[in-house]
Structure 1
Amino acid sequence: MYKFCLLASLCLFHFVSFSQTPIDIAENTVKVSSQTDEVFYYGFAEGDQLVFNFEEVNGKELKEIEIMFMPSQSIYMEYKTKKIVNKTIQIRETGVYKFRFTNTNILSGRICKFKIQRIPGSEATRKFNTTVYNRTILDTSYADVQERFAVKSDTSFQEVLNDVITVHSLTNSRPNKVVKPFTLPNNTIAWAYYIGVGEEGENMYRYATKELMRGSNNASKDFQIASNPLKALILGSYSYLRYLENGEKVLYHLMEGTNPNAYIEGKSYDFIKSRKGINDYVKMDIVKNNLSFCLTNESLIFPINVAIKVMALKVDAVYDLRMVHKMNVKKTEEMYLKN
C-alpha cells in the first residue's frame, strides 16, 4: 500500500511539474518605427497556455498589442501599455496565432522586448512544432468565354482632304497666312498629298488623272485605285504628276500639334516638310496626329487659290467572335503548421 501511494505521488508530481514548465517559443527585441506595425506568427496546440511578457525598453507607451487566432479572431488586446508580465491565455483551438505590435506615434519609434512561451496541455503536445510555414495554393477553374479575334485585314483608301483655300496678299486687310488642319484616319500606314496653286495647279492634277484613266481598264475592279494620282503615288506607281514652272507660288509648311499657332504669331516653330512652288506632291510614311498645312502668300497684290488633296491608305482588322475554353488559376498564400 505504501509503495502504491509513493508511486501515485511521484506520478502526480511529474504531471504537475510537466504541466507547469513553460517552453520558450520566442524572445526578441524589435524596433517598431513610427506609424507602423510589426507582426509575428506562431503556432499553438489546443489545451496550451500561452504566456506573454512585454516591455518597452525606454518606458514609453506602445499604442496597441493584439494577439489574434488567424484569420480574424482577436483573443487579446492591450492599449497604451509599457509593460505586460506573465499574461496567460488559454488556447482553445490548434492553429496559427498572430502577434501585432502597433506604434501610432508620428515622431519616434518604440524599442520593444517580448517573450512568448507555451505550457503544453498534455504530454502528447509537448513537442508541438510552433513554426509557421507558408505555401501557395493554386485553385484552377475553367470557363467558356466569348473572345474577339481578327479574321482578316481590310486594306482601303480614304480621302482625308479635298479643298480649295483662298490666301490673301500681303497688302490685303485680311491675313496672308492660313492654317488648314486635318487628321489621318486610324490604322493609316501611308498617305500622300497634292498642293497646287490656281488653275495651273488644278489642271496638272486633272491631267494626271486623265492619263491614269487612259491606261486603265474601266472594267477592272482596281480602276478606282489606278485612276487616282495620290493612290498611285502611295502604291509606288507612276502618278503622271510633275512640277510646274510657270504660275503663282505658295509657301507651305506641314506641321504637327501647336506649331501652327507659333507660325501665325511669328514665333519659333518646327515643321515636318516645307516648300515654295506652284505645286507639290509627296508620299508620306510618317503618320502623326493633329497635322496642319500652313499656307503663306508672299505676293504684295494678288490673292491665290490653293488646292489641297490628301489621301490615306489604312489597314483595318476585321473581327469576329468565337467561344474559347479558358483556364483560370487563382493563387492564394496560406500559412500552415507541420503537425
Structure 2
Amino acid sequence: MKQQIFALTFLLFCSTTLGQTPINILESTLKINSRSVEELYYGFAKGDEIILNFEELKGKKLSEIKFIEVPATLKFADFKVTKINEKRIVISKTGVYMLRLSNTSHSSRICRVNIQRIPASNMTRDFNTTVYWQTFYDTVYSTVTEKYLISTDTIIFNLVDQIAKVHSKTNLNGNLSCSSFTLPENTYKWSYYIGVNQAGKETFQNATQSIAKTGSSLLYQIPGYGPLAALALGGTSYLVQQQKGEDVDYYLLDEENKKHFDFGQQFYSIKNGKVVNDFSQMNSNLGGTYFFCLQNDNTLTAIEVTIKVTAIVINENWGTRPKEHISIKTRKEPFIKN
C-alpha cells in the first residue's frame, strides 16, 4: 500500500513539474527605429501561461508595449517602459497573439525581449506557436460619379475681315499699320490670310467660289465655312500663293512683342514675310490677343491689304452620371496550424 501511494505521489510530482517547465518562444535583441512599431505574432494554446521579460538596454523608455489577442482584445499594456520582469499572462483562448512595441521618440531603442510559455499540460507541450498568413481578396462594389462628354459643338468664328490701307514711306502718316484680334475661348485651331491690292482680294474670292462648288461635304454645311475654315481644319482651301504684284512686309506679333515693335526695339514674330499674299494654319498660340503689323516699302504708292482671320472653336458639353465601381482589396489574416 505504501508503495502504491509513493508511486502515485511521484507521478503527480513529475506531471506537475513537467507542466510548469517554461519553453522559450523568443529571446532576441531588437532595434526599434524612431517613430516605428515592431509587431511579433505567436500562437498560444488555451491554458498557457506566458512569461514576458523586457529591457531597454540603454535605460531609455519605450513608448508603449501591448500584448493583444488578435484581432483586438487587449491582454496587457504598459507605457514609457524601461524594464518588465516576469510579467505573467494566462491564455484563455487558443489563437494568435501579438506583442506590439511602439517607439514614438526621435531616436531608436535597443530592446532585449524574452517570451516563454508554460503549457497547461503535456497535451499542449508541443503546440506549434508559428503564425502563418493567408491572403484574402475582397470584391468591393461602390458607386462613383463619372464625368462624360454629352456633345461637342464646332463653331467657326470669322474674327477679322478688313482692308487696311498702308501708306508709302514718304507719307506723313508713316508706312506702318497694325490690326489686332483676340482669339475666343476654346480655340482649337485658327488660320489667316493676307493679300495685297486687287490681286490679293481676287485670290481669296476665287478660293471662296471653289469652296461653294464643292458643297456636298458635311463640313461645308457648317455656318461660316470657307477657305480659312478649310485651311484651319486641314481641308482643301483652294488658296494659292501669288508671285506677281505689289507686296507687303507683315509681322504676326503677340502683345509683348508688339510693344517692342512700337518702340523700334528687337522683337520676335510668330509669322512674318514679304509677300503678295500669304496664308497659314495655326496650331499653336491658341489664346490671347495678337497683331498683324504691316509695312509698305514703296516710296510713293500706298497699298491696300486684305486681312482675314478665322478661328475654329470646339465647345465640349459635359455631364455627370453614377457609375458602379468594382475594386479588389487584399487583406492578410494570421492563423495557426494546430
**1:15-44 CA-partner distances (Å, limit 9, x unpaired):** 211221111111111112223222222121
Q: CA deviation at 1:86?
A: 0.9
Note the 1:260-279 alignment, pairs <5 A: 260-266=254-260, 273-279=271-277
Cα 1:95–1:227 change in 2 (3 A) is closer
Cα 1:276–1:24 change in 2 (3 A) is farther
Q: Which residue of 2 aligns with 1:136?
A: 135
Note the 1:152-231 alignment, pairs <5 A: 158-164=155-161, 180-182=181-183, 185=186, 191=189, 193-196=191-194, 200=198, 201-213=200-212, 215-216=213-214, 223-224=220-221, 228-231=226-229
SS at match of 2:11: helix
TM-score by length of 2: 0.74
> Structure 2: which amino acid aligns with 1:180?
F
Cα 1:202–1:309 change in 2 (3 A) is farther
**1:82-133 CA-partner distances (Å, limit 9, x unpaired):** 2111110111122222212222332x32211010111112222222211122
Q: CA deviation at 1:239?
A: 0.8
Note the 1:1-339 alignment, pairs <5 A: 1-106=1-106, 108-140=107-139, 158-164=155-161, 180-182=181-183, 185=186, 191=189, 193-196=191-194, 200=198, 201-213=200-212, 215-216=213-214, 223-224=220-221, 228-233=226-231, 234-237=233-236, 239-243=238-242, 245-247=244-246, 249=248, 251-253=250-252, 260-266=254-260, 273-284=271-282, 286=283, 289-290=286-287, 293-298=290-295, 307-312=307-312, 328-339=327-338
Q: CA deviation at 1:207?
A: 2.8
**1:253-300 CA-partner distances (Å, limit 9, x unpaired):** 37xxxxx3442343887665443435322245x466436543223459
> Structure 1: which amino acid aligns with 2:112?
K
Q: CA deviation at 1:310?
A: 2.5
Cα 1:312–1:40 change in 2 (3 A) is same
> Structure 2: which amino acid aligns with 1:275?
G
Contact 1:161 1:182 in 2 (8 A): no
> Which range moves more in the overlay, 156-165 or 94-103?
156-165
Give the distance between the partners of 1:111 and 1:157, measured in 2 at CA.
70
Q: CA deviation at 1:250?
A: 5.2
Give the distance between the partners of 2:268 and 2:112, measured in 1 at CA.
67
Identical residues among aligned pairs (%) = 29
Cα 1:66–1:17 change in 2 (3 A) is same
> Structure 1: which amino acid aligns with 2:160?
D
Cα 1:142–1:28 change in 2 (3 A) is same
Please tell me the root mean square deviation across aligned C-alpha atoms, in Å: 4.5
**1:36-59 CA-partner distances (Å, limit 9, x unpaired):** 222222121221111100111122
Task: Provide the aligned length of Structure 1 versus Structure 2.
Answer: 323
Cα 1:71–1:231 change in 2 (3 A) is same
Cα 1:335–1:195 change in 2 (3 A) is same
Q: CA deviation at 1:143?
A: 8.8
Contact 1:184 1:288 in 2 (8 A): no
Give the distance between the partners of 1:331 and 1:268, measured in 2 at CA.
63
Contact 1:167 1:296 in 2 (8 A): no
Cα 1:161–1:293 change in 2 (3 A) is farther
> Structure 2: which amino acid aligns with 1:228?
G
Q: Which residue of 2 aligns with 1:257?
A: none
TM-score by length of 1: 0.74
> Structure 2: which amino acid aligns with 1:204?
T
Cα 1:334–1:309 change in 2 (3 A) is same
Give the distance between the partners of 1:144 and 1:58, measured in 2 at CA.
54
Q: CA deviation at 1:210?
A: 1.8
> Structure 1: which amino acid aligns with 2:280?
V
Give the distance between the partners of 2:3 and 2:205, measured in 1 at CA.
129
